[in-house]
Amino acid sequence: MMKNKIFILGAIMGSFVLGSCGDFLEEESQSEVIPKTTSDFSELLLGTGYPDESTPNFSFLSLMDDDCAHFLTYASPWNPEGTVETANAITQFPIYSWQPTLADYDGYDSEINETASSTTYAQFYSKILGCNAVLDYIDEAIGTQDDRDRVKAEALAVRALLYFQLVNIYGEPYNHNKDALGVPVRLISNLTEKNIERSTVGYIYEEVILKDLLEAARLLDPLPIMRKNFRINQPAIHILLSRVYLYMENYKECIAEVEKAEKQGIGLLNMVNNLDVILADNGYAPISYNNPEVEWLFGPSAVANHWEYQPGTAPAFRVLWDQVNDQRFLAYALKTASDDNSVYLKKPMSSSELGQSVRSAEAFLNRMEAYALSGEEGLALAELNAFRKTRVIGYTDVNLSGQALLDAIWLERRKELCFEGHRWFDLRRQGMPEIKHTYKAEKGGAVYEYVLQQGDPMYTIPFPNSVVLQNRALVQNPSREMGARQGEIQ
């Protein structure tokens, strides 16, 4: 029988983050609302486990990748240096310039993340423990076995995604060093340990993420596919599996998962002939359920919305595009909206709407890369050309091989999935290349260039000091021990 008690999730979550064991659990009397049915647990999971419009928020990573730049091409005739020396420009500077203190101090040297519970790290564990609470009791819930299986599969798949994102923020890339420390793992909601050590990146991928997703697929695949209900479904799970296998360089398995998703009905929107499918009242909506490619819509925006680092304005990003014929340039609203070079990106950037998705375009990009890296270059090239024909007006097939083919696939991925939470993670697994950011600290002053070196330790984000202080078993990442990063005058 289910215990006549219910965990107060906030207390449980605080325990994991803060590392205390004295009062990690509170109980409510039988008179309180207690989840009993599968419907109750489904709603509990949606409210406490699923990423919502606000959390977990890791949009700060978008300030660190190569699609971001200080908006120095701003061309307002009345204030041409309007993006320089502003509060936002200064506040976000440590993140934008990859400073070792980025998790503890803003650009004014004011403390941030002062309490562990306020951190991105804590937000992830809050949602993980929401999933765990459902998984602990769903097998005893009142309802059909199919309904129990559906809720359980969702909880497992969501937990897998949360650990995937978490370990790709605070752990080294799997294909670089899977024996490196990742993040602490807890798979039940009843916490008894005061300090929890970090598991390895390999363990988290192989024993947590992969096993959760495979079990979720086993449970959910026999059931009817549900779409556009803000819950993860079968095709989304197989697309996530293809992503995980790609990151692990298990290319055969990656390809197989895309084939499973295809059998479940995924396909590409032909933007050349049918772009108006995603037209909404205020423009195109590529990351919404208007887009038939979207299998699951979830979580907060993955792009930081700061005017001074305005998404889509970086010169090195803009030159990648065929700005006339590539329909994504139109659909994503990357065209400058006024004479001052402003861009009003049509990928969610507010806290009032869901901003991430799992969609079929990623699946085909995963597969073409897996083909290329497993020696099936003919299949990779055919898929790349077919993909581009759904995006670019008047596209003509290219003939590429070797590194040129792989580079073209990576470029296509960069453009297709821009500002959706993929770029920083992709850079990590693609060899952690050098990135350069320019910054102007003062109006009328010099422009400085900051460099993230190839293989830089900062490709693994340091933990906030407040988290390390509360969990004494948590070993800090080397990126926190680096010296201040200095810029060079351009």
Domain of 127, CATH number, reads 1.25.40
User: Are 378 and 320 contained in the same domain?
Assistant: yes
Tell me the CATH number at 346.
Answer: 1.25.40.390
Q: Rounded to 10 degrees, what is the CA torsion of 229, 57, 185, 208? A: 40
User: Are 3 and 75 contained in the same domain?
Assistant: yes
Sorted by sequence, the CB contacts under 8 Å of residue 259 that are 6+ apart come out as: none
Report pLDDT for 192.
60
User: Are 173 and 257 contained in the same domain?
Assistant: no
User: Are 476 and 339 contained in the same domain?
Assistant: no
Instruction: Return phi, psi of residue 187, to 5°.
Output: -115, 5
Report pLDDT for 32.
52
Report pLDDT for 126.
96
Write down which residue in 367, 388, 421 finishes a domain.
421
User: Within 10 A of 489 (CB to CB), how many other CB atoms are there?
Assistant: 8
For each of the chain's 490 residues, which pLDDT tens digit applies?
A: 333 334 444 444 444 444 433 222 233 333 356 899 999 999 999 999 999 999 999 999 999 999 999 999 999 999 999 999 999 999 999 999 999 999 999 999 999 999 999 999 999 999 999 999 999 999 999 999 999 999 999 999 999 999 999 999 999 999 999 999 999 999 998 766 668 999 999 999 999 999 999 999 999 999 999 999 999 999 999 999 999 999 999 999 999 999 999 999 999 999 999 999 999 888 899 999 999 999 999 999 999 999 999 999 999 999 999 999 999 999 999 999 889 999 999 998 767 899 999 999 999 999 999 999 999 999 999 999 999 999 999 999 999 999 999 999 999 999 999 999 999 999 999 999 999 999 999 999 999 999 999 999 999 999 999 999 999 999 999 999 999 999 999 9
371 by DSSP, 3-state: which?
Answer: helix
Q: Are 103 and 479 in contact (CB under 8 A)?
A: no
Q: Which helix (H) or strand (E) holds 407?
A: helix 402-416
146: its two tokens: 């199919």
Q: What is the DSSP string of 292-336?
A: TTEEEEESS-SS---GGG-TT--HHHHTTS-TTTBHHHHHTT-S-
188 backbone φψ class: left, alpha, beta (φ>0; ψ -120 to 50): beta
In a domain, 264, yes or no: yes
In a domain, 23, yes or no: yes
The gap from C-alpha 429 to its chain's centroid, in whole angstroms, comes to 14
Q: Give the residue ranges of DSSP H helices in 193-326.
A: 201-203, 210-220, 234-247, 251-263, 271-274, 315-318
**Considering the entire predicted model, what is its pTM?**
0.94
User: Are 192 and 263 contained in the same domain?
Assistant: no
Q: Which long-range contacts (CB under 8 A, 24 or more apart) does 30-33 make?
A: 30/4, 32/6, 33/6
Q: Are 45 and 155 in contact (CB under 8 A)?
A: yes
In a domain, 352, yes or no: yes
User: Are 33 and 169 contained in the same domain?
Assistant: yes
Write down which residue in 397, 421, 445 finishes a domain.
421
Counted domains in the chain? 2
176: its two tokens: 């670089």
User: Are 373 and 478 contained in the same domain?
Assistant: no
- Tokens 């009345």 correspond to what residue? 78
In a domain, 233, yes or no: no
User: Are 133 and 32 contained in the same domain?
Assistant: yes
Report pLDDT for 283.
87
Write down which residue in 394, 421, 448 finishes a domain.
421
- Tokens 């080397």 correspond to what residue? 478
Single out the residue of 417, 227, 392 nearest to residue 323, CA to CA: 392
In a domain, 396, yes or no: yes
In a domain, 371, yes or no: yes
473: its two tokens: 């078993």
Instruction: Return phi, psi of residue 55, to 5°.
Output: -140, 155
- Tokens 């419009």 correspond to what residue? 53
In a domain, 13, yes or no: yes
State which residues form the domain around 337: 250-302+310-421
In a domain, 50, yes or no: yes
User: Are 332 and 188 contained in the same domain?
Assistant: no
209: its two tokens: 């993420």
Sorted by sequence, the CB contacts under 8 Å of residue 367 that are 6+ apart come out as: 242, 254, 255, 258, 383
User: Are 264 and 322 contained in the same domain?
Assistant: yes
Report pLDDT for 1.
36
Q: Are 351 and 242 in contact (CB under 8 A)?
A: no
User: Are 180 and 292 contained in the same domain?
Assistant: no
489 by DSSP, 3-state: which?
Answer: strand
User: Are 393 and 265 contained in the same domain?
Assistant: yes
Amino acid at 79: N
Report pLDDT for 33.
63
Q: Are 199 and 183 in contact (CB under 8 A)?
A: yes
